[in-house]
Amino acid sequence: MRVRFAAAAMLRRTGTTTFFLLLALLTAAPVHAAARLNPLQAMDAGAASALQSPSLDDIEHRTFEFFWQTANPKNGLVPDHWPPHPERDYFSSIAAVGFALTAYPIGVERGWITREQARQRVLATLKFFANAPQGDSEDHDAGYHGFFYHFLDIQTGLRYGRWVEVSTIDTTLLMAGVLFDQTYFDQDNPEEREIRELADELYRDVDWNWAQARPPLVSMGWTPGGKFIPNDWKGYDEAKILYILALGSPTHAVKPAAWKAWTSTYHLSWGSFMGGKPHVGFAPLFGHQYSESWVDFRGIRDAYMRARGMDYFENARRSVIGQRAYAISTVGHFAGYDGNIWGLTACDGPGNTTWQRPDGTSLKFYGYFARGADVGEIIDDGTIAPTAAIGSIAFAPELVLPAIDAMYSRYGKWLYSKYGFVDAFNPTFQLTDVPLRSGHVVPGEGWFDDQYLGIDQGPILLMIENYRSGFVWNVMRRNPYIRRGLERAGFTGGWLEKPANERTRATSPPATAHVPVAIMQQ
């Protein structure tokens, strides 16, 4: 699940912060701020000169290399976070694998790897998941009923720990990558035929009906000890793609009533934020990026959006505009915030500590946490995640491109390194005598993370590519299961009215909306 310990939606709705003891994992093994050395500072010496912002190609290429270089080539498992640290657990995120499976064809189309290299990595990954043990044991399986555990041992591929759940949303993001590869690898040769067959087998095995503990909705997950999580996926958050895949299944499809139930709670977060246009709100921006990384929602609408006179792409754009307006409104309260430094989502943070300000007020900081600002909800401790803005580039490039420039020019020497932008930074956090969850403090500049997170790297890579060429969207348009899921959810219009038989390369013209081509940076 996106919030690495549960969906932000679950925390918002239930108020619980003890979901399967994952918070213990995320707050474990702090290091002292004054003693902490950033392992990334030794890498790419001189990469961030603050003289000229990196091109989108450089950001995209470095982010691609995260997936290509850090994955276990034997089984395709991608680390949840990198680099490894001797005092922290190190494991694979299946959602990060879904992003990686999409990254490899991007690398082919951009010329960073060969198609043969991508084929071999994808085959290793799909063969691992196809052969991974499924069952209800506590310690000896990788999944159950076609779903997989949220975190897997990066070497053995088994459930990482008894606190890890079989995750429906993380399996969904894995399957999004699987289906992307099923469509992309369309050549008539033994290896690509095997990719298509394995992808079909994996998707068909996911038993969405079993996961409907309280139909028509889908449960957030399951554990052998605790059984089904007592919460279901209800809108609005990152799970649009979950219901699209569940509706599109040729073997275990849920009924269209599931989509109606999913949208039935939209009214709880419908409204205006920071004086902007009304939309369905979700405070952390990942909720507007995950489904949209794979599915092109421009011009297609379900019943809810038809009634509102817009589409989900526009909905996301309004949320992004609201977040930037919020940052402008808080200038002076948090250091660094302005019209170009903004972006809240679930991300790393300096750690759980409270700062007593000189004026007598206090500010509580967090470690990994779902931060955000939107209709009805503001969760902010001054921690900014580059993925929040950059992963929104297709929605509002006129806001995101200046944000990239500002983040790099002001903080690039601490923020930009081997695999692009690190996960997060907090200019407000200046405490040097408290334990940190991760990262290091630069006196006078603030806290900077020393980690990359796979599920935050993914939206950066996929959405930059969608902004530049529409490549990921165009491939997924051709997948029959995606189309079937959208149609059964009631989507009509736009590209759904056209045949799905055109193959599009990453070098095609930009597929963005709401922005002149002149501001594109290819």
Q: How many C-beta neighbours within 10 Å does residue 154 have?
A: 21
**The pLDDT value given to residue 503:** 56
Give CA–CA dist 488/154, Å, rounded.
36
Give CA–CA dist 273/496, Å, rounded.
31
**The pLDDT value given to residue 172:** 98
Residue 336 clears pLDDT 60, i.e. is over it = yes
Burial of 517 (0-12, 13-18, 19+ CB in 10 A): exposed
- Residue type, position 214, single letter: R
- DSSP reduced 3-state for 347: strand
- How many Cα atoms sit within 13 Å of 343 on the Cβ side? 30
- DSSP reduced 3-state for 192: helix
Task: Please answer whether residues 220 and 229 qualify as being in contact, where contact means their C-beta atoms are separated by less than 8 angstroms.
Answer: yes
Exposure string for 75-85, b = 16+ CB within 10 A, e = fewer: bbbbbbbbbee
Tell which wins on pLDDT, 504 or 287.
287
User: What value does the mean pLDDT of the chain take?
Assistant: 89
- Residue type, position 52, single letter: Q
Tokens of 387: 């993925």
**The pLDDT value given to residue 53:** 82
- Residue type, position 481, single letter: Y
**The pLDDT value given to residue 499:** 85
Give CA–CA dist 123/469, Å, rounded.
26
Confidence of residue 82 (pLDDT cuts 50, 70, 90): very high
Helical (H) or strand (E) element with 407? helix 397-415
Q: Does the domain spanning 8-519 belong to CATH 1.50.10.140?
A: yes
**The pLDDT value given to residue 273:** 98
Q: How many C-beta neighbours within 10 Å does residue 435 have?
A: 16
Tell which wins on pLDDT, 181 or 21.
181
Name every residue whose Cβ is closer than 8 Å to that of residue 310 and which is 6 or more positions away in sequence. 279, 301
Exposure string for 404-423, b = 16+ CB within 10 A, e = fewer: bebbbebbbbbbbbbbbbbb
**The pLDDT value given to residue 359:** 85
The residue behind tokens 């930059």 is 464
Name every residue whose Cβ is closer than 8 Å to that of residue 92 and which is 6 or more positions away in sequence. 72, 77, 78, 79, 80, 151, 152, 153, 154, 157, 160
Give CA–CA dist 168/147, Å, rounded.
7
Tokens of 251: 């073997």
Give CA–CA dist 416/407, Å, rounded.
9
6-10, 20-24, 247-251, 460-464: which range is least confident on average? 20-24
Give whole-number Cα distances, 158 to 75, 144, 153, 254, 315, in Å: 12, 12, 5, 28, 38
Give whole-number Cα distances, 133 to 91, 146, 475, in Å: 18, 10, 30
pLDDT tens figures, 173-216: 999 999 999 999 999 999 999 999 999 999 999 999 999 999 99
The share of the chain scoring above pLDDT 70, in percent, equals: 86
Residue 16 clears pLDDT 50, i.e. is over it = no
Tell which wins on pLDDT, 109 or 516.
109
Least Cα distance to 150 among 24, 369, 2, 346 occurs for 2
Burial of 396 (0-12, 13-18, 19+ CB in 10 A): buried
pLDDT mean over 117-132: 98
**The pLDDT value given to residue 497:** 95
**The pLDDT value given to residue 505:** 55
Give CA–CA dist 251/246, Å, rounded.
10
Name every residue whose Cβ is closer than 8 Å to that of residue 28 and which is 6 or more positions away in sequence. 87, 88, 89
Name every residue whose Cβ is closer than 8 Å to that of residue 337 and which is 6 or more positions away in sequence. 327, 328, 330, 331, 382, 384
- DSSP reduced 3-state for 216: coil
**The pLDDT value given to residue 25:** 36
Give the largest Cα separation in the chain, rounded. Answer: 69
pLDDT mean over 486-510: 77
